[in-house]
Amino acid sequence: MEIKKLNDSTWQIDDGGVRFFLLAGEKRALLIDSGMTVQNADEIAAGLTGVPISLLTTHADPDHIGSAEKFDGFYMHPAEATNYYKSQRRKGTFTPVWDGEIIDLGGRELEIIHMPGHTPGSVTVLDRAGRAVYGGDPVQDGSIFMFGAQRELHAYVASIRRLESQSGRFDLIYPSHGTCPLTPDIIPALRIGAERILSGELRGNVVDFHGSRIRRIDAGAATFLCDADI
């Protein structure tokens, strides 16, 4: 595990192949995801800031909820509840957050952006004054998982198009995987790549992935791991 201080009130915590973030305001702080192998993200965050800490889960894949049950509760989009409670069989009480909702940390307003596609309830977080987007898997230059029942490439394209229309609101993107940070010019590149997959222009290769047959497609800006029969 490695902790990087991005500024006086923001930290990046690297946990193997995934990263999560702590954003502090004057009155409280928000932990965006809780790691994969670490089981004490609550203690790690408490050691970085003296204000009360809340947890937000960008989505419920296992590499993002490692310490979620250590918190009394957490923020999550309701569309992610099936993934969290049924697919992952995790426990805990969530407070729903919706697209456009503001979490005010005290002098620091964070806006929830719903990004369905990678999972139904995926969200990312816009630090309005800081002009930065934090967390989640849809915007990255690594491997974007798009195979399985909960993932849908048409929804992903719709989300990316919408984020692209808002790209004038932020200067940097801090994703959970891949290169960090990124600039907003990756967003149209991801959209174009995903659209080329949907049109059939990009096909990639069918490969074995941990016992599942998937289609691995290099779309330039990122690699999409899709259903084999896409």
Amino acid identity of residue 193, one-letter, is: G
pLDDT at 78: 98
What are 174-184's pLDDT values in tens digits?
999 999 999 99
Tens-place pLDDT, residues 89-134: 999 999 999 999 999 999 999 999 999 999 999 999 999 999 999 9
CA R_g for the chain: 17
Using the structure block, give the residue that is written with the tokens 């791991």. 225
How many degrees, rounded to 5, is the angle at CA 36 between CA 139 and CA 125?
Answer: 35
Maximum pairwise Cα distance, the chain:
52
Q: How far apart are CA 187 and CA 19, in angstroms?
A: 20
Question: Token match 């991005």: residue?
Answer: 6
Mean pLDDT value across the chain = 97
Q: Which among 187, 116, 107 has a CA at the least distance from the CA of 158?
A: 116
Token pair, residue 1, equals: 């595990």
The edge-to-edge listing of strands for the beta sheet with 123-127 is 102-104, 109-114, 123-127, 132-134, 172-174
Specify the pTM.
0.97
Token pair belonging to 89: 């069989």
131-159 mean pLDDT:
97
Which pLDDT score, from 0 to 100, does residue 182 have? 98
Fold (CATH) for 2-227 = Metallo-beta-lactamase; Chain A (3.60.15)
Specify the pLDDT at position 173.
98
Contact by Cβ (8 Å): 75, 89: no
Q: Which amino acid is at 14?
A: D
Distance CA 215, CA 218 (A): 10
The answer to whether 22 touches 53, Cβ cutoff 8 Å, is yes
pLDDT in tens, 24-76: 999 999 999 999 999 999 999 999 999 999 999 999 999 999 999 999 999 99
In terms of Cα–Cα distance, which of 118, 119, 125 is closest to 190?
Answer: 118
